[in-house]
Chain A
Amino acid sequence: MTKLAPVLSAHWDEKDSFTIAAYTRHGGYKASAKALAMDPDAVIQLVKDSGLRGRGGAGFPTGMKWGFIPQGDEKDHYLVVNADESEPGTCKDTPLLMANPHVLIEGCIIACHAIRAKHAFIYIRGEVTHVVRRLNQAIEDAYKAGHLGKGVDVVLHVGAGAYICGEETALLDSLEGFRGQPRLRPPFPAIAGLYARPTVVNNVESIASVPAIIANGAEWYQGMGTEKSKGTTLYSLSGHVTNPGQFESPLGITLREILELSGGVRVGHKLKFWTPGGSSTPLFTDAHLDTPLDYEGVAAAGSMLGTKALQIFDETTCVVRAVLRWTEFYKHESCGKCTPCREGTWWLVQILRDLENGVGTEADLAKLLDLCDNIMGRSFCALGDGATSPITSSIKYFRDEYIAHLTNGGCPFDPIKSTLFSGANA
């Protein structure tokens, strides 16, 4: 049985956890002092040795990403933190920043030192007013305490409601003051990122993991997790469960373990399908309860670890309705730059609506898969790829349920039964 291991979340239960006083009380800003006394290359090597991988979805080794920044090139370098948390089901960075914004700021100081950057930008989504307040205050307090302003400046940049800006190159365009649309790569941000300068773009949780690694060493971090997925991470459990919430454990815990320690699927119901890492990762079923939730384990089972957003749906949920709603989301958030995604997501919605309403035909299923085939790998960025995941995986596991909509002449489910207030004041 994997045990929980709070590192990022260790002090969240203290009422003032978000203040600089609480953060320094627990050793805050000692790791950045330690790192600033080290050679920048030694910091990069330490993060490489720790095995830390990107927590924003792709799982790219963080130290290696930092190592890609050209040195001695006389150009300005930038660190950009992706706090545009918007992937459906994903809800880890937002509570982290609400409870402890200083750990991100300290991580920025360390990362900037390592990549020889003087400027860090934190790009946060705009729909979280109180988290913006907390971060802004934390930055102000870090300047007052002298942690910022002596070599590193941090600027908070607030988005304005566009999921696509979570894609790193769209985020950079947005930060430069344009519509948030992805860029063609190469060149990669490490060579030509913000203002065409070498730039590292990292997720909040990745950068927030760095202070503890510097403080406790690479070996300590290496000692947690699985062979290729090291350290601890935040798993976010939501949906039809007895107790939803955040669970920080070493990588490799299983859904069965998380459900057992948190109280399981809601009483009287059973697991039907779930996402391991947000709506862009192919669906799993009860056959995947024992899949190790690390980068390799989830990939081997045909999905992606993504953001570790475990959205749980029980047998009352219509999978066609769920997938249609996600698809409507992708259609709405498609930036319009490339044809497969812009046109494809519209067609996907139309066909899925027909199927959900029972007016489609079985041939529509083949058409859906054909459309997905023409979007996947042919779009400018991962939004298009992600849009196909719920569709192809749901047809794989629940083809009969799609057919049942056709034979039934509409959706056979009662949507009230899947609400939390079924039979109450609905």
Chain B
Amino acid sequence: MAYTPDQLQVMDSIIKRYPRSRSAIMPLLHYVQSLSGYVTNEGIELVAKLLTLETAEVSAVATFYTQYKRKPVGEYHVGVCTNTLCAVMGGDAIFAALKEHLGVENDGVTADGKVSLEHIECNAACDYAPVVMANWEFYDNQDVSSAKELVDSMRKGTPKAPTRGPNSLGTWKEASAVLAGINDGKANEGLQAGEPTLLGLKLSKEGK
């Protein structure tokens, strides 16, 4: 794809965040992912050019980190935590059910391009297990049927809202832009905390 002057200006502002330009490589990769849906060869070439690096140096970084995708993912990228605690409490069952329900394997994308699926590692929400992420937003306390309903809602184009996150689920590209540090104005949406987060505070107020 050809990059517009506006997009190039965003990339320039990302580089200016850092005392040394090479530090901008990760947010720039998130940004090119937000434009194309994945880190394309053109994206790598552009990042290399902007930072005066070899494309091999940028590729080395892009392939090290699992959040950078080198092929298209779905509009809604679903991750099921199958690290030990979530797996034991239902993550394994949820992941198996979603593979069957969607007809895809790990890292697969549905034919309509709506949903992709991967099993993920611990996502720092263990008190909300089993956890499912979509475009890296939290869907807490899931079970097999709620997870199936979630992916069904995505395929219909009306995805359910995250349990702790913005009022509605954005696309994969929109989430990638947020990770590049671009403010989408949704920071004030959603809960400040879920019930487990507040349990200790609540008990303390009861004198415990």
Give me the interface of A with B, judged by CB distance under 8 Å. Answer: 3-6, 9-10, 12-19, 76, 85-91, 93-95, 98-99, 119, 125-130, 132-134, 136-138, 140, 155-163, 174-180, 195, 235-240, 243-249, 261-262, 279, 309, 311, 313, 317, 321-322, 325-326, 329, 332-333, 415-416, 418-421, 424-426
Instruction: Give the docked Cα–Cα distance between A180 and B30 (Å).
Output: 16
Whether the pair A88, B121 counts as a contact (CB closer than 8 A) is yes
Question: Distance in Å from the Cβ of B205 to the closest Cβ of chain A?
Answer: 8
Instruction: Give the docked Cα–Cα distance between A18 and B189 (Å).
Output: 11
Instruction: Give the docked Cα–Cα distance between A125 and B197 (Å).
Output: 19
Whether the pair B129, A244 counts as a contact (CB closer than 8 A) is yes
Q: Which residue of A lies closest to B170 (CB)?
A: A129
Q: Which residues of the partner chain A approach B79 to less than 8 Å between Cβ atoms?
A: 127
Whether the pair A175, B23 counts as a contact (CB closer than 8 A) is yes
Whether the pair A89, B85 counts as a contact (CB closer than 8 A) is yes
Interface string of B108-143 (1 = CB under 8 A from A): 000000000000111111111110010111100001
Whether the pair B183, A140 counts as a contact (CB closer than 8 A) is yes
Instruction: Give the docked Cα–Cα distance between A424 and B123 (Å).
Output: 25
Partner of A421, one of B135, B144, B198, B208: B144
Question: Distance in Å from the Cβ of A417 to the closest Cβ of chain B?
Answer: 10
**Given A3-B208, A85-B124, A91-B124: A129 touches B175 (CB 8 Å cut-off):** yes
Interface string of B135-174 (1 = CB under 8 A from A): 1111000011100000000000000001011100000000
Does B100 sit within 8 A of A, measured CB to CB? no
Q: Which residue of B lies closest to A318 (CB)?
A: B88
Whether the pair A133, B126 counts as a contact (CB closer than 8 A) is no
Whether the pair B181, A17 counts as a contact (CB closer than 8 A) is no
**Given A88-B83, A128-B123: A425 touches B136 (CB 8 Å cut-off):** no
Q: Which residues of the partner chain B approach A132 to less than 8 Å between Cβ atoms?
A: 178-179, 181
Whether the pair A9, B136 counts as a contact (CB closer than 8 A) is no
Whether the pair A162, B64 counts as a contact (CB closer than 8 A) is yes
Whether the pair A243, B90 counts as a contact (CB closer than 8 A) is no
Q: Which residues of the partner chain A approach B193 to less than 8 Å between Cβ atoms?
A: 12-13, 17, 95, 98-99
Instruction: Give the docked Cα–Cα distance between A133 and B177 (Å).
Output: 11
Instruction: Give the docked Cα–Cα distance between A128 and B136 (Å).
Output: 5
User: Which 8 A-B pairs have CB atoms at the shortest separation, nearest pair first?
Assistant: A245-B199, A137-B187, A160-B65, A245-B196, A247-B200, A177-B22, A238-B126, A161-B67
Does B35 sit within 8 A of A, measured CB to CB? no
Q: How many residues of B contact A (CB 8 A)?
A: 79
Does B186 sit within 8 A of A, measured CB to CB? yes
Whether the pair B188, A162 counts as a contact (CB closer than 8 A) is no
Whether the pair A416, B93 counts as a contact (CB closer than 8 A) is yes
Whether the pair B145, A425 counts as a contact (CB closer than 8 A) is yes
Whether the pair A130, B166 counts as a contact (CB closer than 8 A) is yes
Whether the pair A15, B88 counts as a contact (CB closer than 8 A) is no
12 contacts between A and B (CB under 8 A): A14-B192, A76-B19, A90-B124, A128-B124, A129-B178, A130-B164, A133-B183, A161-B65, A161-B68, A176-B22, A309-B126, A325-B87
Question: Distance in Å from the Cβ of A263 to the closest Cβ of chain B?
Answer: 9
Q: Which residues of the partner chain A approach B184 to less than 8 Å between Cβ atoms?
A: 133
Instruction: Give the docked Cα–Cα distance between A416 and B96 (Å).
Output: 13
Q: Which residues of the partner chain A approach B56 to less than 8 Å between Cβ atoms?
A: none
Q: Which residues of the partner chain A approach B195 to less than 8 Å between Cβ atoms?
A: 245
Whether the pair A179, B126 counts as a contact (CB closer than 8 A) is no
Does B10 sit within 8 A of A, measured CB to CB? no
Q: Which residues of the partner chain B approach A161 to less than 8 Å between Cβ atoms?
A: 65-68
**Given A127-B136, A322-B84: A160 touches B30 (CB 8 Å cut-off):** yes
Q: Which residues of the partner chain B approach A425 to less than 8 Å between Cβ atoms?
A: 143-145
Q: Which residues of the partner chain A approach B204 to less than 8 Å between Cβ atoms?
A: 3-6, 248
Q: Which residues of the partner chain A approach B203 to less than 8 Å between Cβ atoms?
A: 4, 247, 261-262
Q: Which residues of the partner chain B approach A15 to less than 8 Å between Cβ atoms?
A: 192
Whether the pair A420, B67 counts as a contact (CB closer than 8 A) is no
Whether the pair A12, B30 counts as a contact (CB closer than 8 A) is no
Instruction: Give the docked Cα–Cα distance between A204 and B144 (Å).
Output: 34
Partner of B197, one of A12, A313, A317: A12
Whether the pair A247, B27 counts as a contact (CB closer than 8 A) is no
Q: Which residue of A lies closest to B61 (CB)?
A: A179
Instruction: Give the docked Cα–Cα distance between A87 and B188 (Å).
Output: 28
Whether the pair A195, B29 counts as a contact (CB closer than 8 A) is no
Q: Which residues of the partner chain A approach B17 to less than 8 Å between Cβ atoms?
A: 155
Question: Distance in Å from the Cβ of B160 to the closest Cβ of chain A?
Answer: 15
Instruction: Give the docked Cα–Cα distance between A162 and B66 (Å).
Output: 7
Q: Which residue of B lies closest to A165 (CB)?
A: B65
Chain B 1-50 interface residues, beta-carbon cutoff 8 Å to A: 17-20, 22-27, 29-30
Whether the pair B88, A419 counts as a contact (CB closer than 8 A) is yes
- 17 further contact pairs, Cβ within 8 A, besides A129-B175, A132-B181, A161-B65: A9-B201, A12-B201, A89-B85, A127-B120, A158-B179, A162-B64, A162-B66, A179-B61, A180-B64, A246-B199, A248-B201, A261-B203, A313-B85, A325-B87, A326-B84, A329-B121, A415-B93
Q: Which residues of the partner chain B approach A14 to less than 8 Å between Cβ atoms?
A: 192
Instruction: Give the docked Cα–Cα distance between A195 and B20 (Å).
Output: 8
Question: Distance in Å from the Cβ of A83 to the closest Cβ of chain B?
Answer: 10
Does B98 sit within 8 A of A, measured CB to CB? no
Whether the pair B124, A93 counts as a contact (CB closer than 8 A) is yes
Whether the pair A236, B127 counts as a contact (CB closer than 8 A) is yes
Q: Which residues of the partner chain B approach A424 to less than 8 Å between Cβ atoms?
A: 143
Does B101 sit within 8 A of A, measured CB to CB? no
Partner of A245, one of B87, B127, B162, B180: B127
Q: Which residues of the partner chain B approach A240 to less than 8 Å between Cβ atoms?
A: 89
**Given A163-B121, A245-B199: A176 touches B85 (CB 8 Å cut-off):** no
Partner of B88, one of A140, A244, A317: A317
Whether the pair B181, A156 counts as a contact (CB closer than 8 A) is yes
Q: Which residues of the partner chain B approach A156 to less than 8 Å between Cβ atoms?
A: 181
Q: Which residues of the partner chain A approach B162 to less than 8 Å between Cβ atoms?
A: 130
